[in-house]
Amino acid sequence: MSEQTLPAAASRPLRKDAARNRALLVQAGREVFAERGLDASLDDVARHAGLGVGTAYRHFANKYELAQAIFTEAIEGIVAKAHEAAAVEDPWQGLLMFFEFAAEAQTADRGLREVLMGFHDAAEMQRINERIRGPLASIVTRAKQAGLIRPEVEASDIGLVVTMLCTIADLSADVAPDLWRRYVPILLDGLRSGSPLPVPALTDDQFYEAMSRHKQRLIAQAKNPGACELPKSG
């Protein structure tokens, strides 16, 4: 997906009816993308929202701008929750709070999950990585200082555990949509002291690179479902 530039009008306050229509489009986008993925068009979203196509295009130039709006709204919520979790007095409860919120935000909304995994904008991903790195590092540092987790655990481990929970949710969504909750304590217990970990954690830069490449593979596979791209080595 190429980088999209938001129109200047997007930064101006919206009238009440315009704000309502935009909210309807964002919600409809989540629902349509949940069912059809990013192959759905902005026209499809407008019809689902019960709005005219012209109204949709007054708010978003194309479906990718709508996807970016959904993505940005979701990430703002996750970043805010990371800051809230970092401020919780009990660092273990803060860790649990962030895990559950980040996983539930994606698993309870399959349209959001579709957008989060299908949206790739290098500059935006770098900005998000920089914003969330601080509070996650604070959560991990406080939990280490309290002796609650292994000394080798790093902030990148938190992001990967959330990804694991979302993968479980994807796999079981049609059979047991809440199954991911079973694995929260299992994975959290793995962060506590135990046997030595055989390989080191990813650095922040490695985590960003891994997620970036993973998203690019998902996008490529969505465009060519018959292809199976193997991860690059080295």
* Tens-place pLDDT, residues 136-157: 999 999 999 999 999 999 999 9
Residue 220 is encoded by which pair of tokens?
């490529």
Q: State residue 62's pLDDT score.
A: 92
| Residue range 228-234: mean pLDDT, rounded | 41
Q: State residue 221's pLDDT score.
A: 66
CA distance 8 to 218: 31
What helix, strand, coil percent values describe the chain, rounded to 5?
70, 0, 30
pLDDT over 50 (residue 226): no
SS3 annotation, 98-158: HHHHHHHHHHCCHHHHHHHHHCCCHHHHHHHHHHHHHHHHHHHHHHHHCCCCCCCCCHHHH
Q: State residue 213's pLDDT score.
A: 84
* Tens-place pLDDT, residues 27-86: 999 888 877 877 889 999 999 999 999 999 999 999 989 988 888 888 888 899 999 999
CATH of 67-223, one of 1.10.287, 1.10.3860, 1.10.260, 1.10.357: 1.10.357
Taking all residues of the chain, what is their mean pLDDT, rounded to a whole number?
Answer: 82
Residue 173 is encoded by which pair of tokens?
């969504």
CA distance 234 to 223: 26
Domain ranges for the chain = 67-223
